[in-house]
Amino acid sequence: MDKNVNLIVERLKKIPHCEGIVYSGSRTDGDFVATSDYDFTVLISKGKSYYRIFRYKGLLIDICCATPEVIIKNDFRRDKVANPELSIIAHGEIVFDKSGQMKAIQKKAQRVWKLGPTNDIKEAGHLCTIFLHRLNKPKSESAYHSWNVIMNKTVRLFFELHKVWLPKFLKVESNINEIDRDFFKLYKKIYLANSADRVKLTKKMVEYLIKKFELPQTGEIYFPKNEN
C-alpha cells in the first residue's frame, strides 16, 4: 500500500465520531497519475454527513463523511443502474474499523450489490418508444443530434435490463461483450459508421432490446410508481 495512505488515515481518524474508513478510487484501481487525489469514505457515528476536498502534507484528499443511516438510505439503492457509492462501500478497502461496524456495513453493501439493480419493464418500454420516435426521422436535425444521447441511454438501459450495475467508463465495452455479443456488434459498428448510419444503428440497438426483453410498445404515457 502507498505509504501516504497510512499518513492520511491517521489524520482522518481524528475526525469527530470516526468509526471506520474505506479507501477507494483511482489509486486503488491502479489507474492514476502522480497528482491524483486520495479517496476515502469515513463512517461517523453521529453528526452531519458531508463531502470535503483538502490538502494534507501536500496530498490532495477527497473524503465523504457519513453516518450509517445516511449510507443505508442513500447508497443501498437498487433503483438506479449507476451507483458508484454502493460500489465504494461494497468493494473499497477497509483501512480502519474501530468496532467492526464498517465491516458489517460492507457485508450488507456486498449483499445488495450481488442482487444487481432493479428494472421496470414498463418504464423501459416507454423509454424505447420515445427513442424510436426521435430516431424514426433520420433526416431531421432532432435525430442527428439525439443519436449519441439515445445511444448512451440505451447502453444504460442494456445493463439495467440485465440487472447488472453500470461499470466504469473504461470497462463498459468489455462488459457489454461479455454479456451479449450480438448487442456488442451493434455497439461497435456505431463508432465506425458515418453520421447518417449512426442514427440507423442506434435504432437497431433499441429495437434489439425491445425484442429480446419483449418490452411493451403501447405508446401510453408512463408515470413512475411514486408519482401522484
pTM over 0.75: yes
In a domain, 224, yes or no: no
197 shares its domain with 138: yes
Same-domain status, 134 and 200: yes
**Do 109 and 146 share a domain, yes or no?**
no
CATH number for the domain spanning 175: value is 1.20.120
Clarify whether residues 100 and 132 are in a common domain.
Answer: no
* Domain identity same for 48 and 133: no
Q: Are residues 137 and 87 in the same domain?
A: no
Q: How far apart are CA 18 and CA 136, in angstroms?
A: 55
What's the grid cell of residue 198?
A: 449512426
Q: Indicate the number of domains in the chain.
A: 2
Based on the domain organization, do 94 and 180 belong to the same domain?
Answer: no
Q: What is the pLDDT of residues 108-167, one digit of tens each?
A: 999 999 999 999 999 999 999 999 988 887 566 666 678 888 999 999 999 999 999 999
Residue 86 sits in the same domain as residue 130:
no
Domain assignment present for residue 17? The answer is yes
Q: Could you tell me if 145 and 97 lie in one domain?
A: no
C-alpha cell at 47: 453528526
Say whether pLDDT at 194 is over 90. Answer: no
Q: Same domain for 141 and 194?
A: yes
Is residue 172 assigned to a domain? yes
Region 206-222 average pLDDT: 84
| 110/189 same-domain check | no
The boundaries of the domain holding residue 57 are 3-115
pLDDT digits (tens, 9 = 90+) for 78-87: 998 999 999 9
